[in-house]
Amino acid sequence: MLGWLTLTLAFSQLSAQVVSPASPTDTLYGVPLAGDTLPVIKMKFETLFLVPFVMIPGTALFVGGHSYQIDAKKRFASSSVKSYFDATNDLFLTDLYTRHKRNRIIWYSATAVGTVVTYVGLLHLVAAIITLNSSALPAVSPYVWWGGGLATAGIAARIVSFRHLRKAVNYYNFEYTRQRPRISMHLGLPQATPAGLGLWLYLKF
């Protein structure tokens, strides 16, 4: 009787240790499990995405214009990639994403203040022209200079911000999805670059 109880307890402990493996969950809307196969992230500058914002003066300055395709699903928020970066527990990726967010704050803040100051200066200019008050024209200059300078600083922070994110996406794809980098030379609109604006000769990775 004692031997039977011993065998019963032994088998019950063994069966308790057998756990059915959980199905991996790796969707765009959830945090990937550590054992999941991480998908490739395709980051691209969408030129046509900015067209509606160009029609409203100043709004295009606040739009990133990048898309992030993960598992055939396209999103336009840079936060879409964060859960995949977090799944790697890579401090380098965390640092790059933090720099992206920090420069994004500078981008929004400097651009917003610069745009407002510039608009105030333009209002003073219009008022001076309407009232034919030439003595008020010198007062417009500081608004334009400060507003333009802050807006330019904001755009520079935008470029740096997405450059950090582009570097993070390239590093993630190479280290955790084993996507080999491809280098080619192009002449035209660099949609895959962090700036995404201008016409020049550039390298595409």
First to last CA, the chain: 73
Angle between helices 91-130 and 140-176 (to 10 degrees): 160
Domain ranges across the chain: 36-204
Residue 138 DSSP code: G
Structure confidence at residue 124 (pLDDT): 82
What pTM did the predictor assign?
Answer: 0.66
Structure confidence at residue 122 (pLDDT): 87
HSE-up of residue 191 (Cα within 13 Å, Cβ side)? 12
Reference 182, options 194, 193, 174; nearest CA is: 174
Cα 63 to Cα 158: distance, rounded to the nearest angstrom: 9
Cα 57 to Cα 191: distance, rounded to the nearest angstrom: 22
**Which one-letter amino acid corresponds to residue 174?**
F
Maximal C-alpha separation, the chain: 112
pLDDT digits (tens, 9 = 90+) for 13-42: 333 333 322 333 344 445 555 545 789 999
